[in-house]
Amino acid sequence: MSEVMLEINDLHTYYGQIHALKGLTFTVNKGEIVCLIGGNGAGKTTTLRTISMLKPPKQGYVKYKGQNLNSVAPHEIVTKGLAHVPEGRRIFPRLTVKENLELGAYTVKDRNLITKRMQQGFEIFPRLRERQSQLGGTLSGGEQQMLAFARALMIDPELILLDEPSMGLSPLFVETIFDSVVALNKAGKTILLVEQNALMALGISNRGYVLQTGEIVLQGTGEDLKNNEAVRKKYLGED
């Protein structure tokens, strides 16, 4: 039986009077890639923000490795091995690549461990090694996404929340990012992926959930959803 790493139960999240998540319930098992797909305003980003308690729920709970996170501050959640790579990358543009990575390791006290993890990040994204003294703001969009990803890895997370990693990237960088997600999963990381590129997301995911106005309307294996007629028409661009 699979070990449940993340349990989402009856989540209701609001932005003022707007009811963004309406009773969301799903799980992510250890070692899986699970994707959330849906149109704009479906609640995908809000789901990740609620899980990391940047936007705590009004009702329901989030459990990570059996612990209720509802009353845990976002900076404390990071220390438990849950990393959030937000939409839009959010790197520090006036700091170098190396300084961005060091900030990602703010919970790590061992300098040797920080250096080791930085080197591991450079192995996954060799381009960052070449640009480690370059300011983050001068990187291309794809390189900034690599940096945001590598920065999250500095805490050696067990679960990674990835929000729209391919947004605004060239096809070449999209391939690189998705290859990295698969490689990290094979190395033991569990991943919850929010992605606009539904075809690629479902192609690498064990399971997926389709969100619509804050509710799950479909769920299944990545392969099943990819072959679902309604999903193909609405999210994969087929007539």
- Asked if the structure places residue 110 within a domain, the reply is yes
**Averaged pLDDT, 136-147:** 92
C-alpha to C-alpha distance for 104 and 134, rounded to whole angstroms: 17
In this prediction, residue 71 carries a pLDDT of 94
Residue span of the structural domain in which 55 resides: 4-234
Buried b (16+ CB within 10 A) or exposed e, 205-224: bbbbbbbeebebebebebee
Q: How far apart are the C-alpha atoms of 34 and 222, rounded to whole Å?
A: 8
- Structure confidence at residue 2 (pLDDT): 78
| CATH number of the CATH domain containing 184 | 3.40.50.300
Give pLDDT tens digits for 86-140. Answer: 887 789 999 999 999 999 998 898 999 999 999 999 999 999 999 999 999 999 9
The end-to-end CA distance of the chain, in Å, is: 39
**Conformational region of residue 214, where left means phi above 0, alpha means psi within -120 to 50, and beta covers everything else:** left
Residue 184 predicted with pLDDT over 70:
yes
Classify residue 136: in a domain, yes or no: yes
Number of domains in the chain: 1
Residue 161 tokens read as 């929340």
pLDDT at site 238: 61
Query: What local confidence, expressed as pLDDT, does residue 172 receive?
Result: 84
Using alpha carbons only, what angle is made at residue 218 by residues 216 and 220, rounded to the nearest 5 degrees?
Answer: 120
Does 166 have pLDDT greater than 80? Answer: yes
Work out the pLDDT band at 19, boundaries 50, 70, 90.
very high
**In this model, does residue 239 exceed pLDDT 80?**
no
The rounded distance, in Å, linking the Cα atoms of 146 and 105 is 16
Does any domain span residue 166? yes
**According to the model, what pLDDT value does residue 237 have?**
66
- Helices 111-124 and 97-104 cross at an angle (nearest 10°) of 120
Q: How confident is the model at residue 167 (pLDDT cuts 50, 70, 90)?
A: confident
User: Do the domain assignments include residue 239?
Assistant: no
pLDDT in tens, 187-238: 999 999 999 889 999 999 999 999 999 999 999 999 999 999 989 888 876 6
Q: Are 218 and 228 in contact (CB under 8 A)?
A: yes
- Residue-wise pLDDT for 51-95, tens only, equals 999 999 999 999 999 999 999 999 999 999 999 998 877 899 999
Please give the Cα distance from 114 to 181 (Å, whole number): 21
Q: For residue 60, is it within any domain?
A: yes
Length of the chain: 239
| Residue 178 contacts residue 211 (beta carbons within 8 Å) | no
Residue 115 lies in a domain: yes
